[in-house]
Structure 1
Amino acid sequence: MTVRSHAMSIARRQKMCAFTVALLAAAQTWALEPKLQDSVDLDGDGKKEQVTLEPGTEGHFSVRVGSTVYKGRVLTNEAQGFTVVDVDASEPRKELLVHTIGDVDEQHRVVLLRFDGKRLSELGTLQEATEVKGNGIVLEDTWEGFWNRREKYVLDARAQKLTHVRQELLYVGIEGTVRSKSFPLQRTRTDTTPVANVAPGSKVLVVAAATPDKDGPVEWYLLKTSTGLLGWARIQTLVDEVELPFAG
């Protein structure tokens, strides 16, 4: 190996180590409790900005970074504070995640803000940001009665927005027990031909859920019987006929 190639190899390893450290730092930052004020370098210029969040009424809040102010509103939620996250560890900027609390869990929201040195702009508003690890991806978990619905959002660097990555199916992976009544599983969501009739007292695995065409609750679920057959059932059938860990 030549001196030049050896030096390039060392440089590559150092770059990879730096990127790994950045990812770990992002994960550690995410674990912090929300704050109302902090001093942090958001635009990556090596200088820390003073960041302050001021909660308002009826969902209003304002975020000040230096002399720049962003005014936002989320439903009628109360702003609890912000955490600093790193959506994309390959570039020097970091983001603010404003946490707001609604009257019920379904109304909780987080607002992702980015500061470019001159202005604060919104990248997106989600119900939750479960994972922000610095790879340009934000994962969101929302409660669907007996399972967590995981959605993926990717940062569009050109548009400076989070873009939803739609899935045809959503993984569930929850097992339940059929109560005292047998019910059929359909071949497809539009073909009512029975694939199987589940036996009372048998185990069924809720494998996946069909993503709704529009925003709203999931209506159809793909089930696996104890005999290894797959078929579809509506949510009301699961509520009525299967023991699952439903919770409000």
Structure 2
Amino acid sequence: MADSNREMNYWPGFVDALSNVVLTLVFVLVVFVFALLITSSKMQQKTVQMVEQRLEQEHTSFAKLSEVEAKLAETQKARDKLAADLADLRAVNQRLEAFRQSVRDKEAASTPSVVEKPLDLKNAAPAKPVDGATDSAEIVGGNVIIITYPRAAVMLNDTSRAQLTKLLETYRARLPGTIATIDSVMGLETYSEGRRMAYYRALDLRNFLLEKKYAGSQSIKITTKQGKGQGDARIELRFVRP
């Protein structure tokens, strides 16, 4: 019995050893779980930080996108404004071109009739034969040269200048000492327009006389008057001795 009791004394030691092993394992497990919890917490914090950073980046990107969209909207507004300004400039250019065309048409209407249709240049009272010096005053003073202008014509064309030169050359020797009177009669235009054009016709004829030396600048008298009839405009040119 004594030997049997000694053998049974081994079990408590084994139980103690096993208990120590179990306690050690439990401790290790607790430490592992604790470490796992700490690691998980840190990873969770890091994940939260990453999510927050990503959200912040997305917010920043959204803000930048909004800013870009705003700039694009401003750019579009600027483009629309430029397009509107360009359209206005084109409209102004079209109006200017139309105005220039109207001016060209008006100028064309005032000159082609002179070029295309020769002016009617005639001596209304033909000169008498000259027998002596005493007749020169009567011939120069008594004759009138009538220049008829088509409507809107204000200048002598080459043909009419040649005709007038040919006519006046026959009297060149008798013209010195005379006064050239230019009576410019208005045509069918309105009063203000007709008066202006009559004056321009008279100036053109005056320049012609000065150019050809048929009269001096101090010996030319210009008058404008309204015609009694409804005919074309005309100029009555006379050379009168004072």
Structure number, greater radius of gyration: 2
Same fold, judged at TM 0.5 (above): no
| TM tier relative to shorter chain | under 0.3
RCO (CA 8 Å, sep 6+): is it higher in 1 or 2? 2
TM-score (norm 1): 0.26
